[in-house]
Amino acid sequence: MLSEVEFVIEQWSCPLPLRDYPRIVMGHGGGGSLSAELIENLFVPAFRNDDLEAMADSTVLTLPAGRIAFSTDAYVVHPLFFPGGSIGELAVHGTCNDLSMSGARPLYLSASFILEEGLEMKTLAAIVDRMAQAARDAGVRIVTGDTKVVERGHADGCYITTAGIGVVMTDHPPAPSKAKVGDVVLVSGTLGDHGMTVMSRRENLSFETVLESDSAALHPLVEAMLAASGQVHVLRDPTRGGLATSLNEIAQSSRVGIRIDETALPVRPAVASACEILGMDPVYIANEGKLVAIVAPEDAERVLQVMRANPLGHAAAIIGEVVADHRGTLVERTRFGATRILPLQIGEQLPRIC
Amino acid sequence: MLSEVEFVIEQWSCPLPLRDYPRIVMGHGGGGSLSAELIENLFVPAFRNDDLEAMADSTVLTLPAGRIAFSTDAYVVHPLFFPGGSIGELAVHGTCNDLSMSGARPLYLSASFILEEGLEMKTLAAIVDRMAQAARDAGVRIVTGDTKVVERGHADGCYITTAGIGVVMTDHPPAPSKAKVGDVVLVSGTLGDHGMTVMSRRENLSFETVLESDSAALHPLVEAMLAASGQVHVLRDPTRGGLATSLNEIAQSSRVGIRIDETALPVRPAVASACEILGMDPVYIANEGKLVAIVAPEDAERVLQVMRANPLGHAAAIIGEVVADHRGTLVERTRFGATRILPLQIGEQLPRIC
């Protein structure tokens, strides 16, 4: 029986010129007629919009007046498909989220592909299809791109780099350096879903409950939060390294201490038990559809209610506070009442998670 | 004896925290303290500018009013270093040039690295150093970035994707669809230098004359041309697939015929003889510091003089014209007086040239 992913890939009906090439060959990155066919038959139909000028070197856009946010991320997740998403959704959601964490509404994305010779055309088509759907759902346009092909063995199927442009929606954009003593720390939902999903898929672990990535574009939630309060001081999407890494960076950047309560952290039972089996801590596991917010205390409750009213934040919670003690450091009050430091880890427990 | 490239790499004095890691390890892409050290000790000092917010998810910029150009390219050139440049210069120049071909002045770049575990830190530092120098020389700022690391064998040392934002300098930006019958075709200098350099370096070919890449950022030349004429209809930088590929795309996009004269094409003797030995045609070889311009006939001579007065265009030449015959097709009048079609090639004679 086909998995959901395999089914999607099998369903793809290949346009005629591409049918001669069931797999990517070096020429698809050569800039000649094979490249043109790939662009015209695969990328343009999927990403279709008025701004995508397939054959121009760059795209000319008119932006609304004001400040813009600019960001980029490379995506090398392995495997390419996992429950709840694929490298395609990540490449859209991740860069959109980087923009919205600066208080910007994402408008335009670029998409750059590094493909391995031999990659199945159906696999690429399924990835592109999911990217396009994610972009439509997020209200962003993929307006320019590039494709390179490297020899078999010189990549791992498909790497995608997206860059994004957004328009800053507030006069006081949140930034990692703006946390103040007394501020309240909130998260928008359960921790570790994406990381544990990719991990379990990669290692072929199975749990009683199905794990699913939380990959999502968060700017609708951010817009609601910024409309509700002018005192959202910091926003971060806790991807690589998870919540603990984001909060460590904020503590260092703002020169404050941060204290969180273990019992307040929302964690799905399936993620909690998977973490226990693997000896991992959900606060260090990557998320792709969650944010952490640091908000002035007088606005915290209102922001929490706005978050819970939004589908992207229905499991939001207040998890801690910004303190004057132990500046630059994140501590956790454990469920047993002890206090422990959650340091910035050296590397990543789960490489290639995004 | 050390080559110039090896000398540059050996000269690099490694900041203390990085010295413990002479090679890239997986943790450098993990988002933890190793990632932070790489950013703080390597990327930030090299790319230093007011807009680079190392620890934020995205960078907030204020753009001058008007239309912007947005572009991206992935760089996978092999080898990483070659006479006249490296993947670092290409990653800056290539994306700047994509922007300036839309009539835009490049302002900001993002830089996203996919590194292979085991890459020598010195090699990465030399690449970053050359990127930074190229950006300074071009007057652009690298304001945001990302680093991922993949396991040994899952990349080829270093891939870089840059995206760029520029401000359009003209009310009538050039575009591939704007060539008109009667227009004149110009190139800014000698053809095939970059492609033959990388090829000869890769294959360890040596010629009597040293070949050198022409990698350069062309927007100063473009600004001079646009100031001299309001009728620069098309600009392209003939990279992958060379001049013939760019002119084929223009012929198709503008639905015109294009005719060039073989005897008018500027080609260095070393490139011409290397091409002859290898059975290649300079019109299909990649350039990284040249442009092709299609200009209204009454302005062609003035634009040519402006190009020749610029160091980036001192060997500029008029090479052909836009015709009503054979629409969508590029033909060449050969040195023997015959006429032959120069078709869009299927792939690329030289893969991974940029």
Domain boundary assignment for chain A: 17-168, 184-341
Question: CATH class for domain B4-168?
Answer: alpha beta
ipTM of the complex: 0.94
> What are the helix and strand counts (H, E) for chain B?
11, 14
Amino acid at A236: R
Q: What is the DSSP letter of B2?
A: -
Considering only the beta carbons, identify the residue of B71, B241, B346 that sits closest to A58.
B71
Q: What is the predicted pLDDT for the residue at A63?
A: 86
Q: What is the predicted pLDDT for the residue at B259?
A: 98
* Percent of chain A's residues with pLDDT above 70: 94
Q: What are phi and psi of B54, to 5 degrees?
A: -60, -40
Min distance A271 CA to chain B CA atoms (Å): 20
Rg value, chain A, Cα:
21
For domain A17-168, the CATH architecture is 2-Layer Sandwich (3.30)
Orientation of helix B87-100 relative to helix B219-228, angle to 10°: 20
- Chain A residues with beta carbon closer than 8 angstroms to that of B36: 249, 344
Min distance B1 CA to chain A CA atoms (Å): 30
- Chain A residues with beta carbon closer than 8 angstroms to that of B75: 148
Q: What is the predicted pLDDT for the residue at B204?
A: 79
Whether B27 sits inside 8 A of A348 (CB atoms) is: yes
pLDDT exceeds cutoff 90 at A244: yes
CA–CA distance, B152 with B336 (Å, rounded to integer): 52
The distance from CA A298 to its chain's CA centroid, rounded to whole angstroms, is 30
Q: E strands along chain A, which residues?
A: 59-62, 67-75, 81-82, 85-86, 104-116, 141-150, 158-168, 184-187, 232-236, 257-261, 292-295, 317-323, 330-333, 339-341
**A184-341 maps to which CATH number?**
3.90.650.10
A177-208 residue pLDDT tens: 999 999 999 999 999 999 999 988 888 777 76
**Higher per-residue confidence, A176 vs B347:** A176
H helices present in B39-159, as ranges:
44-47, 87-100, 121-138
Q: Which of A2-11, A345-354, B241-250 shows the lowest per-residue confidence on average (mean pLDDT)?
A: A2-11
**Higher per-residue confidence, B15 vs A58:** A58
Read off the tokens for A162.
Answer: 């997206």
Burial class for B255, CB neighbours closer than 10 Å (0-12, 13-18, 19+): exposed
Residue A319, classed as helix, strand or coil, is: strand
CA–CA distance, A305 with A293 (Å, rounded to integer): 13
Read off the tokens for B120.
Answer: 């020598």
Answer yes or no: are the C-beta atoms of B12 and B129 closer than 8 Å: yes
Q: Which of A64-68, A288-292, A327-331 shows the lowest per-residue confidence on average (mean pLDDT)?
A: A64-68
Domains A17-168 and A184-341 share a fold: no
CB-based contact (8 Å) between A64 and chain B?
no
Q: What is the predicted pLDDT for the residue at A191?
A: 98
CA–CA distance, A322 with A256 (Å, rounded to integer): 7
- Chain A residues with beta carbon closer than 8 angstroms to that of B62: 67-68
- Chain B residues with beta carbon closer than 8 angstroms to that of A151: 351-352
Find where tokens 């040392």 sit.
B157
Beta pairing class for A292-295 and A184-187: antiparallel
Residue B314, classed as helix, strand or coil, is: coil
A252-264 residue pLDDT tens: 999 999 999 999 9
* pLDDT tens, per residue, chain B with 354 residues: 455 556 556 666 667 677 788 999 999 998 888 999 999 899 999 998 877 765 567 889 988 878 999 999 999 999 999 999 999 999 999 999 999 999 999 999 999 999 999 999 999 999 999 999 999 999 999 999 999 999 999 999 999 999 999 999 999 999 999 999 999 999 999 999 999 999 888 877 777 678 999 999 999 999 999 999 999 999 999 999 999 999 999 999 999 999 999 999 999 999 999 899 888 999 999 999 999 999 999 999 999 999 999 999 999 999 999 999 999 999 999 999 999 999 998 877 788 999
pLDDT exceeds cutoff 50 at A271: yes
Q: Which of residues 131-190 of B touch A (CB under 8 A)?
A: 143-151, 153-156, 159, 161, 163-166, 168, 173, 175-176
- Select the residue from B57, B108, B218, B354 to test the A interface by mutation, using most A Cβ atoms within 10 A: B57
Whether B56 sits inside 8 A of A175 (CB atoms) is: yes
Q: What is the predicted pLDDT for the residue at A1?
A: 45
